[in-house]
Structure 1
Amino acid sequence: MSKLFFNERKTLVSDAIDGLIYSNQHNNLTRLDIDQHIRIVIRKDWDKSKVAIISGGGSGHEPAHAGFVGEGMLTAAVCGDVFASPSVEAVLNAIIHVTGEAGCLLIVKNYTGDRLNFGLAAEKAKKLGLKVDMVIVNDDISIENSKQPRGIAGTVFVHKVAGYYAQQNASLEEVRSKAQRCNENVYSIGVAVTSCHIPGEENDDRIPPNKAELGLGIHGEPGVAEIDIDDCRDVVELMSKKLLAKTNGQKFALLLNNLGGTSPLEMSLLTKDVVESSLAQDMSYLFGPKPFVTAIDMKGFSLSCVVLDKDTQAALLAPVNVESWATGIQVNDATPIKAEKASNSLEFTPSDAPAIHFIVDKVCSTIMGLKTELNHLDSLVGDGDTGSTFSSGASKIQQELNDKNLPLADIQKLLEVIGEQLAISMGGSSGILLSIFFTAAGTHFGKHQDLPEALLNGLEQMKFFGGAKVGDRTMIDALEPALLTLKAEGLPIAILAAKQGAESTAQMLEAKAGRSSYLNSDNLEGVKDPGAVAVEKVFAAFQA
């Protein structure tokens, strides 16, 4: 089964090109309609007065190459099938369509198919009287003393330099010279923990867990070494040393490239590691992190350094109208602002009030006495811990009561302290919901000095944040009617309302909140919600 989204493999590249054109923020791209096998993306605003810059190659490396077409970079991109060079015919058509008297520069990554197909197309174009030259990018340093270093993400730097000088009306000779100088000073290396998926083919899972391949190719070629990835900083430092051996103390710009499958979270972490690595001493500008040259969905990244001179720096920092370029920045200061930790503890003075002491003690004792019953009910409809959870909260409040450490004479503070203690002692969602209930009630009471109204306000906040309401088979089915009746008709009727509310939950065959929401009606029928029972019993404890 495919690990990629696509319709038909034969239309995948064309479909992707259309998607890019539909969504291009600069609205400056189009494609040539020649035949289904020739896929060429060009600038809509091109007038042939300047040197044309053409790149391309196999697809699967998006946003390369079409994502870099636009004013200041490429004039056209020739897109082959996935990991396959475009045909000579496709390249030749691109050259003919965009090349004027100023000529055309081809920028090609150092792969045999690309060199041959672009090269033959160039020779055919020359026979037609067109001025064509080529730069072959070979920035991969992973293979020591390689006679044919591959072209990878550093190619984007060459695109940018060539595009800049073409935009400045430089001659073909000068554009090629600047691009080639950039090419000779670009060094790249990549690492990945997975290879890539090819549309319609089986995945190669050759890289073991907790290992990575250093220097693997962007077509899924095996790396030159298998390394541990226990600490990303060590991986980055290994790559850094190889790059610094090439840059030799010179200042450079660095491109941090996502190879396609690395999450934004990981790329941000890698950015930190790169900025804090030994590369920092010579790094003048950072480009990325973002995908520049990918390998479909390869989970990995690459680093590319380009040594800076005055001309290269000016070219890299010039603005462009290009979809996938990233402006180079000097690394920001990440020093945090010192701040005092906000205290979450309430300040209060313990006080006594016999009537309030009696109520708090009665509520706590009642709940603690219900531990076994509530656990049993919850075992039928949940995970069997409601009694233990409620009892732990009640036990904590009663302990504070016995230690004379509650502001009993200050109702606002008492409600808020109870809320704070329940959040700590109960745990889980029940503790937080009841903490919200008492905290909000305390705030409301402090403003209006109306306890029934304050409790109703706490209920509303608990319903808002918790998402439950009457009829959802929760404690609210007993608590809401009880509190409404308490305010309107007094405690005796509120006791009856709580009982009726709890009993109603036994007839509710669907729970819409909590663990019970995962159960079917056969498990729920005839069983009261344990939270609603707790509310019922607390009110009943004050029966005259």
Structure 2
Amino acid sequence: MPALSKHFLNTPASLVLDSLEGLCSVNPQLALDTQNKIVYIKSHDRSKVALMCGGGSGHEPAHAAFVGEGILTSAVCGSVFASPNASQVRHGIDLIDNDKGTVIIVKNYTGDVLNFGLAKEQYAALHPEKADRVKFVIVGDDVSVGKTQGKIVGRRGLAGTVLVYKIAGALAHRGGSLDEVYDVVQWVAGNVATIGVSLEHTHVPGTAAPKSGLGESEIEIGMGIHNESGHRRVSPAPPLSELIPQLLDLLTSTSDPERSFVPFTGKDGVVLLINNLGGISELELGGVVAETRRALDARGFKASRILSGTFMTSLNMPGFSITLLRLPTQKDTSAPSASLLLSLLDDTPKTPAWKWSSNATPLPKSEQIVPAQKQADAALRTIGLKSADPKAFIENIKHAANGLIAAEPEITRMDSIAGDGDCGLTLKAGAEGVLKKIEEGSIDGNDVVRSVIKIAQIAEEAMGGTSGALYSIFFSGLAQGLQAQSQESGATITPQVWGEALSSALTKLYTYTRARPPSRTLVDPLDAFISAFFKDSTNFSKATKAAADAAEATKNIEAKAGRSAYVEGNRLKEEQIPDPGAWGVKTILESFSA
């Protein structure tokens, strides 16, 4: 599974400065020292403690986008995944000089610790009167690296660092003293834990494309944000319901001598942070939040706040991380109170990087989640029309459904070029829904009209979207046509009745779509089949052949409707890509008659 190695940029060398300039355009509070790659509040309040952070770029929005009133005062940026040098950092300390002192917060990576630490010591040597007004904090929250493996180096710094920024920045903004800010920072840094997981490594702009990576079905738990190897690889990738408990085991274990970093009890109040490492969709991230909440609830943890979004990335890495901040209890006599920490998290900063949060404890699921209820079938007033061969009728439907399921990868491939990539999955979902109803006995050759209505409902509910609506309208029209053609209860449906009903269903469909053959849509083979079958209802094979020919012909037709209308027509012709929806109709009919 290769990493994405294409990027939008002017040059790799200009990328960091271009990005910082863009950030300053977004946030008028900021100024940019281009020589030293420092973003800072240009009119910072000298009566308040200043907070500095920094490190290699490539983790956006961290670090620079957290600079702003209420969080950070400045960020010193290096090249992608490379620490800034001590000279840059020392200049950054000068830029935010103030009357109260400065706290420097860095992630636990060797380059950051050495260069920021060196800058602090150089600054103290140059300004001995201010030596005690610059504090240094290292955040190491990664639990994937065990104590033996980490040895004296310690844990890597990950997204938990962002919670340290936020809490420290809010306290400084309220007017906290240097010692107060430093003490809170130290406590939070010592009680936060993070674990990440990814589908693939990431690619650094300007470097050669990686030649190896994770397998198609493989994930890596504990991968670092600079492409460092993780704790272990897992294949096949488990569902979230299995993966999340494994991650929480690593985060909260107090029995594992290698990873018992935070003294969780199992009944703790916690702040949960779900962080996008850069390359997963909001849709997937929401699923991660839901599953993590379920798993925490099952273990007895109380999530007092839940934060979700993109906080600290590894460029476009397709993965996420989970961070837990243990909130103090009354037994933590030297700790800040939980109410203070939560209120500091809740303060609203003026910076684009901090994501919206509810500033409230999540409600019990029972107050928000309405469980799915099994809906009773509506009382369908249908005429009990029978198929000429009820058993063969059901078997043919099964063949059509299984044919669609088997064709899903090829139809998906076609639609990834000609459309939005979901046609194969949509048809597969409908086919699986039909097979389930057959298994339940809801689709039956002894009551064809009712069965057709069921298929229309499945198309609407299981497929959804444009295809689902088209199929549902067509099958609803087919049910109406069958009843109109034969009013005698218990009658057997003849081929002629099928032909008339199919023709009326197509007419119904044309009421709601302007697509007409040749249009490079599913109506091309559908119209061809129905026209041929209407003329000769005894020759299903001939009608199926007409549909197949019409589907094949879409390879050379310029799209007039549907998603393909937005794709450059010559490309589809050159690559001989048929319309995916038309191919689905062809598959249904050929499988039905197989």
Common topology (TM > 0.5) = yes
C-alpha separation in 2, matches of 1:77 and 1:33: 11
Contact 2:264 / 2:326 at 8 angstroms: preserved in 1? no
- Residues 468-501 of structure 1 deviation map (CA, whole Å, 9 limit, x = unaligned): 26985978xx9xxxxxxxxxxxxxxxxxxxxxxx
- Residues 176-206 of structure 1 deviation map (CA, whole Å, 9 limit, x = unaligned): 1111111111122222221111112222533
Moved more, 432-441 or 77-86: 432-441
Identify the residue that residue 371 of structure 1 maps to in structure 2: none
Letter paired with 2:30:
T
> How far 1:423 sits from its partner (Å)?
4.8
> Are residues 46 and 345 of structure 1, via their aligned partners in 2, closer, same or farther at CA, if it must alter by over 3 Å?
farther
C-alpha separation in 2, matches of 1:404 and 1:10: 71
Q: 2:310 aligns with which of 291, 296, 309?
A: 291
What's the C-alpha RMSD, in Å, of the aligned pairs?
A: 4.6
Identify the residue that residue 75 of structure 1 maps to in structure 2: 73
Identify the residue that residue 257 of structure 1 maps to in structure 2: 275
Identify the residue that residue 41 of structure 2 maps to in structure 1: 43
Q: 1:148 aligns with which of 150, 153, 156?
A: 153
Identify the residue that residue 530 of structure 2 maps to in structure 1: none
> How far 1:314 sits from its partner (Å)?
2.8
Contact 1:69 / 1:76 at 8 angstroms: preserved in 2? yes
Moved more, 198-207 or 83-92: 198-207
Identify the residue that residue 9 of structure 1 maps to in structure 2: 12
Q: 1:134 aligns with which of 133, 136, 140?
A: 136
> How far 1:441 sits from its partner (Å)?
11
> How far 1:290 sits from its partner (Å)?
1.5
> Could you state the TM-score of these two structures normalised by the residue count of structure 1?
0.66
Identify the residue that residue 180 of structure 1 maps to in structure 2: 186
> Could you state the TM-score of these two structures normalised by the residue count of structure 2?
0.61
Find the residue that maps to 1:277 and give its secondary structure: helix
> Are residues 468 and 60 of structure 1, via their aligned partners in 2, closer, same or farther at CA, if it must alter by over 3 Å?
same
Letter paired with 1:13:
V
Identify the residue that residue 165 of structure 1 maps to in structure 2: 171
> Are residues 96 and 519 of structure 1, via their aligned partners in 2, closer, same or farther at CA, if it must alter by over 3 Å?
closer
C-alpha separation in 2, matches of 1:278 and 1:404: 50
> Are residues 51 and 438 of structure 1, via their aligned partners in 2, closer, same or farther at CA, if it must alter by over 3 Å?
same
C-alpha separation in 1, matches of 2:93 and 2:511: 64
C-alpha separation in 2, matches of 1:405 and 1:141: 60
Find the residue that maps to 2:13 and give its secondary structure: helix
Contact 2:66 / 2:72 at 8 angstroms: preserved in 1? yes
- Residues 207-260 of structure 1 deviation map (CA, whole Å, 9 limit, x = unaligned): 333332222211011113223432333322122122222332132212111211
Letter paired with 1:183:
A
Identify the residue that residue 226 of structure 1 maps to in structure 2: 233
Matched, 1:92 2:98: no
Moved more, 305-314 or 56-65: 305-314
Identify the residue that residue 395 of structure 1 maps to in structure 2: none
Contact 1:57 / 1:78 at 8 angstroms: preserved in 2? yes
Identify the residue that residue 191 of structure 1 maps to in structure 2: 197
Q: 1:122 aligns with which of 111, 120, 123?
A: 120
Q: 1:247 aligns with which of 263, 274, 294?
A: 263
- Residues 451-481 of structure 1 deviation map (CA, whole Å, 9 limit, x = unaligned): xxxxxx9999745642326985978xx9xxx
> Are residues 329 and 14 of structure 1, via their aligned partners in 2, closer, same or farther at CA, if it must alter by over 3 Å?
farther
Contact 1:195 / 1:205 at 8 angstroms: preserved in 2? no
Structure whose CA Rg is larger: 1
Q: How many residues align?
A: 426
C-alpha separation in 2, matches of 1:58 and 1:320: 24
Matched, 1:275 2:288: no
Identify the residue that residue 370 of structure 2 maps to in structure 1: 336
C-alpha separation in 1, matches of 2:360 and 2:81: 32
Identify the residue that residue 365 of structure 1 maps to in structure 2: none
C-alpha separation in 1, matches of 2:557 and 2:372: 50
> Are residues 9 and 439 of structure 1, via their aligned partners in 2, closer, same or farther at CA, if it must alter by over 3 Å?
same
Identify the residue that residue 101 of structure 2 maps to in structure 1: 103
Q: 2:23 aligns with which of 15, 20, 25?
A: 20
> Are residues 342 and 322 of structure 1, via their aligned partners in 2, closer, same or farther at CA, if it must alter by over 3 Å?
farther
Letter paired with 1:225:
R
Letter paired with 2:153:
Q
> Are residues 348 and 465 of structure 1, via their aligned partners in 2, closer, same or farther at CA, if it must alter by over 3 Å?
same
Find the residue that maps to 1:321 and give its secondary structure: coil
> How far 1:512 sits from its partner (Å)?
4.7
Moved more, 72-81 or 242-251: 242-251
> Are residues 346 and 304 of structure 1, via their aligned partners in 2, closer, same or farther at CA, if it must alter by over 3 Å?
same
Contact 2:475 / 2:505 at 8 angstroms: preserved in 1? no
> How far 1:95 sits from its partner (Å)?
1.4
Contact 2:272 / 2:322 at 8 angstroms: preserved in 1? yes
Contact 2:197 / 2:223 at 8 angstroms: preserved in 1? yes
Identify the residue that residue 363 of structure 1 maps to in structure 2: none
Contact 2:167 / 2:344 at 8 angstroms: preserved in 1? yes
Moved more, 307-316 or 164-173: 307-316
